[in-house]
Amino acid sequence: MDVITAGSVRSPQTRVRRQRKHPPTAADTPPSMVETPQRLVEAGSGGAPGLADAKRLKHREYVKRSYNKKISTIEALKTELEALEAQYTAMLATTTRGAEADPKEEEKQEQELAGAAPPLLLRYKQLTAAKNRLREENDALYALNARRMKTEGRVHQLLRTETPLPRVATPFRFRALPAAEYAQLLVEARNEVLRFAHAPDKLSSGARVFGWTDQRQVAGDELKFALEKRFAGVSASELLQRSWRIFSSPERFPQVYSATLRVRFHVLQRVNEDTVLFYRTIEPADSSGLCVKVLFVLARLKLDDGGFLLLFRSVDRARLRFREDEIHAVVAETHALGHRPRDEHWADKFIWVLFRDHHDGGCAFHFGGATTTALWLQEVLFIALRWESLAVGPQFALTVE
C-alpha cells in the first residue's frame, strides 16, 4: 500500500501556481499557438520590407490628405477672392463710369463721392482706377512691342543672309529724254573740252609720275584738271574700244574707284550704241552715312581731227524727273538699319577722255575734268592708274622723273 505523505500531496491550485512562475516553452505550447519569427514575417508581408511598405503607405496617405487639404484651401481662397473682387468692382463702379464719361460728368460724380465717402477713400479709388488704366496700357504696349520685336528679328535675319532682297523690275522712275536733247548736251560738253585742251594758259606742276603729267586751269570757283600720258604700241581707236568696254559696264566701271568706297552703277537708258544714261551712288565703306549720287550720260564721239572723245556729263535730275521707286527706297532704308542716318548729296560730274594717235606711233591719252571744289590730285592720279591697269595693262617703268 502506498503511503501518501503530507508533503507529497498537492492540490490542483498549487500546481497551477507553480506553472505560472515559469513561462511556457515551445514544448509546452501547441505548434498552432507558437508565434515564430517566420509567422511575423508572413504577417508583415515580407518582414522588414513589409514594415517599410506599411510606412510608405502611411506616408502616402498623409501626403494625399495634405494635398487634398491644400486643394480645398486654394479653392476656398479662390472663392473668397472672387467675392472680394466682386465687392471691389462694385465699389469702384462709380469711378470707372466717371473715367469713361465726360470730364464734367466725372467731376460732378467725384464731388458727390466726396460728400459720401472720406477723402482718403476717394483718393484711393482714383489712384486705383488710374493704376488699372496704366496696367491695361502697359499690357497693350507690351503686346505691341512683342509684335515689333518679332518683325525686327525677321528683318535682321534677312539682312544677315546673302540672298538679295526682292526688288521691282524698274526700281527707278524717270522721263527718258529724246535723242536730240542728249545730242545737244554732248555738243556743248565737247566744245568746252576742246577749249580747255587748246587753252594756252594752263598750269602744270612739271612733275612726271609713272609717265603721267598734269595740267590745270582755274576760272573763278571752277577748277579744270587733266592728266596726260603717251602709250606705245596701241592706237587711239583700239584704246577707245577697251575703255568703252570698261566704262559702259556697270560691273566693271566701279573697278576704277578706290576699294574704300562702295560704288554702284545702274543703267537707266541706252539711248544708242554710243550713248548710255547712268545712275551712280558712292558711299564710304566706313558707314559714315554720306551717299553721293549723280545722273550722267556716257558717250563716245569722233572728233574732226581724227581723235576720239569719251564724255561723262551729269544731267539735272529735275530735267529727268528722276525718283527712286517706293519699294526700292524701303529696301534701302531696311539695309540702313543699325547704321547712321544717310546724308544724300547730289553732285555734278564732268569728266572727259581724249584719245589721239601720236605722230611717233602709239596713242596720246588725255584724262580731264571740271569741278567747283579743289580735288585731291593724288586720288585723280590713282583713278588714272587703275584705268591704265584695266585698259592697257601693268607698266614696268615705275619711276618719278
C-alpha cell at 217: 586751269
- Is residue 310 within 8 A of residue 387, CB to CB? The reply is no
pLDDT category, 9, cuts 50, 70, 90? very low
The arithmetic mean of pLDDT across residues 328-332, rounded, is 57
Closest CA to 391 of 196, 263, 213, 252: 252
What is the C-alpha separation between 239 and 244, in angstroms, rounded?
9
The arithmetic mean of pLDDT across residues 320-333, rounded, is 69
More confident residue, 342 or 9: 342
What pLDDT is stored for residue 186 in this prediction?
94
> Range with the lowest mean pLDDT among 118-122, 193-197, 289-293, 383-387?
383-387
Q: Phi, psi at residue 237, to the nearest 5°?
A: -65, -45
Distances (CA, A) of 160 to 163, 327, 337: 9, 20, 12
What is the C-alpha separation between 14 and 18, in angstroms, rounded?
6
Chain centroid to CA 127: how far?
41
What integer best gives the mean pLDDT of the chain? 76
Q: Is 60 exceeded by the pLDDT of residue 40?
A: no
Write out the H or E segment, with its range, that includes residue 301. Answer: strand 290-302
C-alpha cell at 238: 583700239
pLDDT category, 29, cuts 50, 70, 90? very low
Neighbouring CB atoms inside 10 A of 218's CB total: 13
- Cβ neighbors of 272 (< 8 A, separation 6 or more) are 179
pLDDT tens sequence across 128-137: 889 989 999 9
pLDDT tens sequence across 69-111: 999 999 999 999 999 888 877 776 655 554 455 556 666 655 5
Closest CA to 345 of 278, 396, 253, 282: 282
More confident residue, 392 or 74: 74
- Cβ neighbors of 55 (< 8 A, separation 6 or more) are none
pLDDT tens sequence across 301-324: 999 888 999 999 999 999 999 988
Q: Phi, psi at residue 382, to the nearest 5°?
A: -65, -35
What is the rounded radius of gyration, in angstroms, for the C-alpha atoms of the chain? 51
Q: Is 50 exceeded by the pLDDT of residue 16?
A: no
Half-sphere exposure of 1 (CA within 13 A, CB side): 3
What is the C-alpha separation between 190 and 337, in angstroms, rounded?
43
Closest CA to 313 of 354, 358, 356, 347: 347
pLDDT tens sequence across 236-268: 999 999 999 999 999 998 888 888 888 999 999
User: What's the full length of the chain, in residues?
Assistant: 401
User: Which residue type is seen at 268?
Assistant: L
Q: Phi, psi at residue 349, to the nearest 5°?
A: -135, 125
What is the C-alpha separation between 29 and 191, in angstroms, rounded?
143
Closest CA to 177 of 266, 348, 279, 297: 297
What pLDDT is stored for residue 34 in this prediction?
44
C-alpha cell at 67: 494635398
More confident residue, 347 or 328: 347
pLDDT category, 377, cuts 50, 70, 90? low
Share of the chain above pLDDT 70, in %: 68
What pLDDT is stored for residue 337 in this prediction?
56
pLDDT category, 35, cuts 50, 70, 90? very low
What pLDDT is stored for residue 164 in this prediction?
59
Q: Is 70 exceeded by the pLDDT of residue 7?
A: no
What pLDDT is stored for residue 129 in this prediction?
84
pLDDT tens sequence across 158-183: 777 756 555 545 578 888 888 899 99
What pLDDT is stored for residue 330 in this prediction?
57
More confident residue, 179 or 340: 179
Long-range contacts of 124-129 (CB under 8 A, 24+ apart): 125/91, 125/92, 125/95, 126/95, 128/92, 128/95, 129/92, 129/95, 129/96, 129/99
